[in-house]
Structure 1
């Protein structure tokens, strides 16, 4: 049997009508049976849906923002389809469903579940548009709801994959279809055992591609990006970036763990376990070589620079003058785990534990409340976490100039610094 190929297209690759046309051109000579196209929400749709949720929670009028989001998709369709095409009532129907979901009560206690139910509409809308457009161009595909394929836990916003059920569902549903047609499905979303929508973590469409690749024993995965491949730094932040022609699974996993945004952190493991190569290519220059991530890539010493913004530094200090022990660390980590907060950096002293985490809605308040009786707690928000891998030949000073350095840590291969931009007033 011919092995399945997975293509993943992110939001930037389908952000407007011209981008959708470009996607079709990429596929024109590449599309074939036993291919799955995983597609994200269009442009900044997920951000817009998150804004709608916040407005609803604050009891503010969200109708204008919802209308803007609907019009964005309708106007995009008007450039792609004739006025009497069936895509228009389908999009209207999806927005009616979205508005119905927004009318339900949303509060901190049900925020995560409500988030998954509402944000899922971004992918459902985009894939309907992509599937219909490809068919209109003679590129026949079948639309598939990813929630019927990917089974997860009920850990809303950070759902854990039930690999056995997902494999069975994917093979049972997809294999008969893929023998005849390519399939278009959504990234980022799944469902729990009760059929409720779940999501796999922000930017989780890459992970969806890896899940389906593993479940279908695919031959390869290709992620289409707006960069020429995996770079050693984000070109929007750092100058003089270099492209990796090849990367090993371990190096790629390390980069994603520390926050490199080109690939979702969970993507590498299922591919490495099956020895499935991952290609990162540019949808702006589809014939270029891109980057190949696989198990036989040579080692290199090119430094990688990763910057995470909107970080919080929290220091937990014991109040009874005892030294920090394993029990203290476990206590803190248990609370972080319960709140689904990942530690981006950890540092211990004799009487304190310092952690760096992402700034997520409601989470800091809950963490402080749960631990305030056992620790003296201090925190700083609005920080940046700079990580440099393979740092031996790197001069750190230029990356710290103009910043307050709150925390620093160096190992054989990794340099990390928590920094805060010094304002003009502070300079004076």
Structure 2
């Protein structure tokens, strides 16, 4: 029996009508039953939906932004479908639902839950457009709501997967459909036990592909990107990048941990545990080999540069003359865990703990308020974290021209710089 294949297409691969047509061309000779197509929101739609939430919280008018977002999707559909196609009424219905949802007051207390309900529309709309277009050109497929089989807890914005229930849902409900048709579904979203929409963390569509692959005992996952595969640095930020033809699961996981944006950090673990290979390929050159990530058993020695932007440096100093001990570090991490904040960099001294975290709405304020009675807290926003994996030299001044280095840390295999523009 042929094993299921998972294809994941990100926002750039569906950003306009020509991109959707290109996606269809990629699938023309590849699409078959027992295939799941996971689709992200179109272009920068998630950012636009986040902006609607921000305006709604400030009790400002959202009609202009909402109209721009609707017209963006409408123009794509006009280029893909005849004027009498049902996609237009479906699009109207989605935006009607969105507008009704945004009538409700949004506060700090309910923001995370509303965030998930609102941003999910990006994936729901894009996957519906993709499925309808595939059917329009004769590539028959079935649309499925990911919330019906991706089961999570109720940690809105950072939901954890109920693996047992998700597998049961996929084996019981999804497999029978895949025996007859390919399925188009959404990345990034799931549902909690009460049926409420949850999301898996920003850029979580890759993770969705891995979840479905594991739950369906798939043969492979292919992520289609606007780059040739996994590179040793972001080509938009650094010159002379090198392509990895093959990567070991462990090295790929290490790269994503430090912030390599080509693959979502949670993607590798379930695939590695199940021995499912991951291919990263270019939707601009679909015939090219790309990168294969599997149990290679050896690491690639090419130095890798990873840059994380929008970082915050937070330093906690003890309020008396005691030294930093495990108890203080535990107190800080306990609060970070409660706020679902991940530490990207940690440095301790005799009297202080310094951490780097991602910029997230409200989270810094909540962190400071929760610990200000126990520590003297200072922070710097708008920073960058530059990580070099497998460095082949000791001087990295050419990587940091025009930057002030606030913190530096090195081990045998890793060098990191916390920096800001001078």
For the aligned pair, the TM-score class normalised by the smaller chain equals: over 0.9
Q: Does 1:70 align with 2:70?
A: yes
Which whole-Å CA distance do the structure 2 matches of 1:183 and 1:394 have between them? 50
Which residue of 2 is the match for residue 33 of structure 1? 33
Unaligned regions of 5+ residues in structure 1, if any?
423-428
Which whole-Å CA distance do the structure 2 matches of 1:403 and 1:15 have between them? 34
Which residue of 1 is the match for residue 269 of structure 2? 269
Which whole-Å CA distance do the structure 1 matches of 2:372 and 2:385 have between them? 25
Which residue of 1 is the match for residue 279 of structure 2? 279
Q: How much has 1:52 moved relative to structure 2?
A: 0.3
Q: How much has 1:320 moved relative to structure 2?
A: 1.2
Which residue of 2 is the match for residue 303 of structure 1? 303
Which whole-Å CA distance do the structure 1 matches of 2:296 and 2:415 have between them? 26
Which residue of 2 is the match for residue 366 of structure 1? 366
CA-to-aligned-CA distance 1:220-269 (integer Å, 9 cap, x gap): 00000000000000001011100000000000000000000000000000
* Range 261-270 or range 317-326, more displaced: 317-326
CA-to-aligned-CA distance 1:144-200 (integer Å, 9 cap, x gap): 000001000100000000000000001111111111100000000000000000000
Which residue of 2 is the match for residue 22 of structure 1? 22
Which whole-Å CA distance do the structure 1 matches of 2:394 and 2:199 have between them? 38
Which whole-Å CA distance do the structure 1 matches of 2:394 and 2:8 have between them? 34
Which whole-Å CA distance do the structure 1 matches of 2:402 and 2:326 have between them? 37
Which whole-Å CA distance do the structure 2 matches of 1:415 and 1:262 have between them? 20
Which whole-Å CA distance do the structure 1 matches of 2:254 and 2:277 have between them? 17
Unaligned regions of 5+ residues in structure 2, if any?
none
Which residue of 1 is the match for residue 376 of structure 2? 376
Aligned pairs for 1:282-361 within 5 A: 282-296=282-296, 298-361=298-361
SS in 2 for 1:79: helix
Which residue of 1 is the match for residue 406 of structure 2? 406
Which residue of 1 is the match for residue 141 of structure 2? 141
Conserved 8 A contact 1:392-1:413: no
Conserved 8 A contact 1:246-1:298: no
SS in 2 for 1:376: strand
Distance 1:287-1:394 versus aligned 2 partners, 3 A rule: farther
Which residue of 2 is the match for residue 426 of structure 1? none
Q: How many residues align?
A: 422
Which residue of 1 is the match for residue 247 of structure 2? 247
Which whole-Å CA distance do the structure 2 matches of 1:146 and 1:10 have between them? 16
Q: Does 1:80 align with 2:52?
A: no
Q: How much has 1:400 moved relative to structure 2?
A: 2.4
CA-to-aligned-CA distance 1:3-28 (integer Å, 9 cap, x gap): 00000000000000000000000000
Which residue of 1 is the match for residue 108 of structure 2? 108
Which whole-Å CA distance do the structure 2 matches of 1:87 and 1:251 have between them? 43
Which residue of 1 is the match for residue 131 of structure 2? 131
CA-to-aligned-CA distance 1:272-326 (integer Å, 9 cap, x gap): 0000000000000000000000002543210100111111101101011111111
Which whole-Å CA distance do the structure 1 matches of 2:401 and 2:71 have between them? 45
Q: How much has 1:394 moved relative to structure 2?
A: 5.6
SS in 2 for 1:412: coil
Which whole-Å CA distance do the structure 2 matches of 1:111 and 1:231 have between them? 36
Aligned pairs for 1:39-188 within 5 A: 39-188=39-188
CA-to-aligned-CA distance 1:14-62 (integer Å, 9 cap, x gap): 0000000000000000001100000000000000000000000001001
SS in 2 for 1:130: helix
Which whole-Å CA distance do the structure 1 matches of 2:378 and 2:393 have between them? 35
Which residue of 2 is the match for residue 425 of structure 1? none
Which residue of 1 is the match for residue 419 of structure 2? 419
Which whole-Å CA distance do the structure 1 matches of 2:41 and 2:114 have between them? 18
